[in-house]
Every structure is written in C-alpha cells, then in structure tokens.
Structure 1
Amino acid sequence: MKSVSLNLFLVIFVLSCFADASVRKSHHTPSGFKNPNPNFETKGFWNVINWQIQRLQLPYSVDPADYPDFPLVKNDGSQLQSNQSQLSVTWVGHATTLIQMDGVNILTDPIWSERCSPVSFIGPKRYTPPGIKIEDLPKIDLVILSHNHYDHTDLPTLKQLEEKFHPLVLTGLGNKKLLLDEGIQNVQEMDWWEESKMKELKITFTPTQHFSGRGLLDRDKTLWGSYLISGKKEKVYFGGDTGYYTHFQEIANQLGPVDIAILPIGATEPRWLMEPVHVDPKQAVRAFGDLKAKYLVPMHYMTFVLSDEALDSPVPRTKEELKRSGFEESQFVPLKIGESRFF
C-alpha cells in the first residue's frame, strides 16, 4: 500500500544533503570541500517540503510491501573463502560489494545494519537482507569508504569488521577522527588522486560530484570520492555516490581504461532534486562509456528506499540505455543480492 505519511526523518536527512555550498575553483575550501563543477547547485528547505508533498501523488508505489520478492542468492562464503587469485565481485546490497583481486579482499561502503540512520529505531529501513553474513566473509583486508553518509559509512558494521578482521580502512579527508573515536584502528585519509598500496594493488581516491555530512551543521566538512583499484592485470572502479560530471573522463584519461565499473543506478527520482548528486541509469551508462569499461556492475538500489523511482525500475532502465548506446548485453552484470561473479 502506498504510504501517505510525511517521513520526517527523510526530510531532515535530505535537508542536510542539500544545504547551500559555495563555489570555488579548488575542491578545498576554508571550511571543508566542494565540487569542481561551477554549475553545481543544491536545493533548499522549501524544495524538500515540495518533494514530500509530490510524493503523495506518485502513480506507483515505493512501498516494498507492494512488490514481489526481489531475487536473492544464498551465499555461504565457501567459494569466496577458497578464492586466492581470481577477480570476483559479490553484491551484498546497496553500495556494499566484496571485491576479490590479486588475493586481496575488499569491501566497499559496508552496511549490514537494519537502518541507515544515526539511531537504530527510525530512519530508512533495509527491505532486502545482506547477501552474505559477516561471519561467512573471507578475511577482509581492506575497506573503502566513499563518503560519510549513514548508508555508506555505517559505524555498527565497521566496528564488527574491526573486531573480526582489523582491516585497513581508506576514507576521504576529515573522516579519520570519527572512525578512530569508534575504535576503528587502522584508518588512512586520502585526498583526490592520492594513492595507497596493498600487496600488489594500487588504490587511487578519485573525484565524484557529491557532498558529505552526518547532520545539519557539518555540510561538506569531509571529503567524498570514488576509488580506482589497479591490480596486476585488471582495474576495478567503485563509484560510490555521484552526480554526472567530467570526472569519469578524467579518471580514464589519467589512469587508463577500466575492466569493471561498479556504478550506482538507484536513488534517482525526482530528477529536479536528485540529479546534482545521483546519476540515473542514462547517466550511469554515459559514465560507463567515459570510463572505457568492459563490464558494468550496478549497485545502490533494491536495499533502502531513499527516493521516488519504482523499486523494480533501475535495472530495466539501465538495460534500455545500454542497448540504445550500442553496448553489448553481455557487458551488463546486474548481480542478484548475494550473487558472486568471477571474471
């Protein structure tokens, strides 16, 4: 049944996302960071209120209860635990993927919590379970965090991973104190285009068009971004959250073509509100082309309700855009939650 109540938490969450930001040439500012796009602009209080009113008139439901069960794959982790060298990607849900590359196990924006929220009893609730249990994961060597929003930097999950694996955690500038205060011990902050090494891998923190903040008063005080992971033979790009801009082309120009691009395709509607910070399927396909990637693995959908698109629409829309843009169907790898693909 379609919800007819205003979501107060979502209003506060989005207001924190779409506060005013100054425009400067560099992504560093006296108070924090900004996007390099001179046309980047965000929406204010009354825009968000207007959005909440418009949600009541949607021609379809965004209530997960009104949809059939989404496809899940049971993953006990045995195949992942035995894999020592082959490139693989497993979708855990939302922006959480497990990347195995040259014997290194990497988690992206891990969240196993029931809600992406500062509190456990209110806020966007998970409507599909994680694709693999934490206890079934292989030893996690590295965690990469794209930015500090609650659905991407989930402190309860990070504390579980710290206790079990003690991984290296990479994050943007300004986020280290938050993690250290929660007992995460091995944290490295990175600026755009900085590199880190792990065994045979080179990990580069790359730009995105987005924002940061965990409340109403810390807008853009920490840095957001994406990651290009370069191994012996392959390159994997993790896009985090991002609007569309020239950074995809810049990444390919500076670091070379990508083998696997893990890109968001959800949390996209309404476009007048979400376009500055979330690519839609059409823009995700354009970014895929900019990155000169071989395979597109989609994420950031089918887990939390954060926007207004029909919950079963992102994959079909992406397939249509890929076909229209001349890409082969085999280049699209829409994993089921819990599914692993070995390349």
Structure 2
Amino acid sequence: MDHLILDPENVLPPTRDHPPSHPHRQSLPKANVTKLHPTVSGNENASIFFVGTATTVLEWQGIRIMTDPNFLHAGDHVHLGPGVTGKRVTNPAVDLHDLPRIDAVLLSHYHADHFDRQVEQSLRRDLPIITTPHAKEHLTFQKSREESFSQVYALDFFESMMLDIAPGVQVGDVAEHSKPAIKVTGMPGKHVPSGVLSSMNDLLQAVPPTNGWMVELGVDKGRNRIDSTFECGYRIYISGDTLMVDELKQIPERYKGQNIDLMLIHLGGTRIPSPSVPLLMITMDAKQGLELIRLVNPDLTIPIHYDDYDVFLSPLADFKKVIEEAGLNDKVVYLDRKDEYRFRVKG
C-alpha cells in the first residue's frame, strides 16, 4: 500500500504562479453558514467547506484535502467530450489563487467540470493528486517533463493508500505511538451503464472512467508502516460522478458492519450532448440519489454537484422533494456554496 506523508507545517500555496498582489491566504474564507449534524453534535474537530460543483475542502488535524477542483465562473464553458460542452451558471465560493495551503487533491476523473484548464495550468506540479489510472496517464505520461505532475497516485476500485500526517500532531488523548492518518480507497463508479452504450463509450472515449472514494479519518496505532494498525474515527463516502449501477452494490457488502458517517453525493442528472438534446444521463438524478442513500445507508448525506452547469438537468429541488417524501429530512444536510459542515472525528 502506498504511503504519502502530509505535513501541516507546509506553507506552500497550491498554485505555482501565485499573484504577488494577492498575499497567500492562511485559511479558508469564513463560511456563510456553519451546519452541524441535525441530531448529534458537539466537540466538532473537522469540517467540509463547499466551494461549488464537486469541489470541497476537507480540513482535519491541520490538513486540507480538496476534491475535484473546478474554479471556472458563470459564463465559462468546458469541453465534456466529442461535440459536448457545458456552460457554468454559478461562481465558486473562492477563487483558485485565493485558496490557502492545500495538502492533496482527490480527483474522481479527468473531466473539465472537475479539473478545468485553469486548474491544470495553475496547480503546483508537486501537489499530490490521488486519482484514476486514466487521469494519471493524462497528468503525467502525456505531458512534457516540465508540465507533468510529479506526485500522482492512481487507485482503481477498492485499492487503498494511506495519507500519514507528519509526526508532532496528536489526536486527542491517544497512546504514545498513535498518530493521525487518512485512508483513501477507490470506490466503483460509472458514467455509462454496462451494455452497448458502455462498449461504444470505450471505443469513442466520450466520457472518462470515474472513481468514487472512501475517505477514512483515524489513527495509526503501529510503531511503523510494517506493524501499522489503522482505526477509523470517521468514514466519508464520496460517490463521484456515477449512475446507479450494479457495481455500487459491492460497497455495503465490503463495509458491512462498518458505519458510513457521511456521504457526499454527486447529483445533477447531467445529460449530454446538451440541455436541448438530453440524450444520455451520466450522473445521478434525484431518484437515483435516493436509491443510493437506501443502498449505502450513510448516517448523513450532503448533496453536491447539483446546479453549477447548464447540462445539470435534475435540480436540487427535485432531490429535496424525494427526500421529504421518503421521510429522510433528518438524514440530509444541504450546503450552498461557501457553507461548511462541521463534524466530530473520534479518536
């Protein structure tokens, strides 16, 4: 299993060409609204800040992990495949060059509404990126040495790696040899269901392979990597851009008896090639989102990726309606851009 050491004392900005007129921000902007668990709260020590689209910043133990960085503005367009474009209709909560230090990026797939051209050109080349084998190829092998990202880690479905936090940071009242750590595991995901359409997509490469993630925050109680014993204190499932496909049924089977505390679910009902010709849905709509909640059974769900592009045709209002009809209002928290959710990691 790969290990990556993250250092909360690192002071480097996430971008390589930080504008000198903009001093490097030391923290995320103050959230418009801070939300907590609707029934169980207290002693929160971690947070998720919603930037927009599928871009969030997870912060715990001085470490910040950013998901699917997309910082385009309203009116900007992205290329989503042969003959397919999308227009952004919202603005991010913070601009790319105004971000504080970011320690690692979780990139679910190589699609411009998750990793736009501005991001690709601007990020530091040594910023760690955890992604799919397909995206790693584009970020490394298909670029010159100067433009390649130097720390790209590829995880296929159910492959894992450890993000070790540098010595000197402790989690609460724990044993001397315990140290905070984050385990990241690739989860199944598919833009296109199996069958003829999937075979055609494999040939045309119209939409790329995609991952979900299981992010486990906890402590490593071993003295070294050889005898490491990881204990999870909070488990987050990030669906990624996927439809409700059979492969997702493996998730509750593999994590049977292990609580999934939070799910970040990508919605929107994205349809291509365009809003006027919505032939193929490639992300979950409200109905499929409800199915996934029932399948995975997380303690709490936060919807993201729901209204930022004109190709997202299943609005958040549709999801709210099916959640209310299902009697699950106390199992969902809704964030707008620049809102945060705070939670407690046990340890």
TM-score above 0.5: yes
Give the corresponding residue for 2:66. Answer: 107
Is residue 178 from structure 1 mapped to residue 138 from structure 2 by the alignment? Answer: yes
Cα offset, 1:272, TM superposition: 8.1
Structure 2 equivalent of residue 278 of structure 1:
283
Q: By percentage of residues, which structure has more helix?
A: 1
Please say if residues 319 and 332 of structure 1, whose CA atoms lie closer than 8 Å, have aligned partners that are also in contact: no
Q: Which residue in the other structure is 1:290 paired with? A: 295
**Residues 338, 78 of structure 1: CA spacing in aligned structure 2 closer, same or farther, 3 A cutoff?**
closer
What displacement does 1:307 show? 4.4
- Pairing of 1:1-343 with structure 2 (within 5 A): 77-78=28-29, 86-114=45-73, 115-118=76-79, 123-162=85-124, 166-180=126-140, 181=143, 182-199=147-164, 200-210=181-191, 219=205, 223-232=209-218, 233-255=233-255, 256-268=258-270, 273-275=279-281, 277-309=282-314, 314-327=315-328, 329-343=329-343
How many residues are treated as equivalent by the alignment?
252
State the distance in 2 between where 1:130 and 1:322 align: 26
Structure with a larger share of its residues in strand: 2
TM-score (norm 1): 0.65
Aligned partner of 1:260: which letter? L
Relative to structure 1, the CA distance from residue 279 to residue 201 in structure 2 (aligned partners, 3 Å threshold; closer, same or farther) is same
Give, as a single letter, the amino acid of the residue that structure 2 aligns with 1:88.
S
TM superposition shift of 1:193: 0.8
Residue of structure 1 in register with 2:222 after alignment: none
Q: In 2 relative to 1, CA 216–249 (structure 1 residues): closer, same or farther, beyond 3 Å? A: closer
Distance 1:79 1:252, change over 3 A: farther
Question: Relative contact order (alpha carbons < 8 A, sep ≥ 6): 1 or 2 greater?
Answer: 2
Pairwise CA distance, 1:136: 3.7
Q: Whole-Å Cα distance in 2 between the matches of residues 159 and 235 of structure 1?
A: 32
User: TM-score, normalization: structure 2?
Assistant: 0.64
Partners of 1:111 and 1:98 lie apart in 2 by: 12
What RMSD in Å do the two structures reach over aligned CA positions?
Answer: 3.0
Displacement of 1:299 in angstroms is: 1.3
Shifted more, 200-209 versus 102-111: the winner is 102-111
3-state secondary structure, aligned to 2:263: strand
Q: Gaps (5+ residues) in structure 1?
A: 1-75
Structure 2 unmatched runs, 5+ = 1-26, 32-43, 165-180, 193-197, 219-232
Percent identity over the alignment is: 25
* CA distance in structure 2 between the partners assigned to 1:198 and 1:267 by the alignment: 32
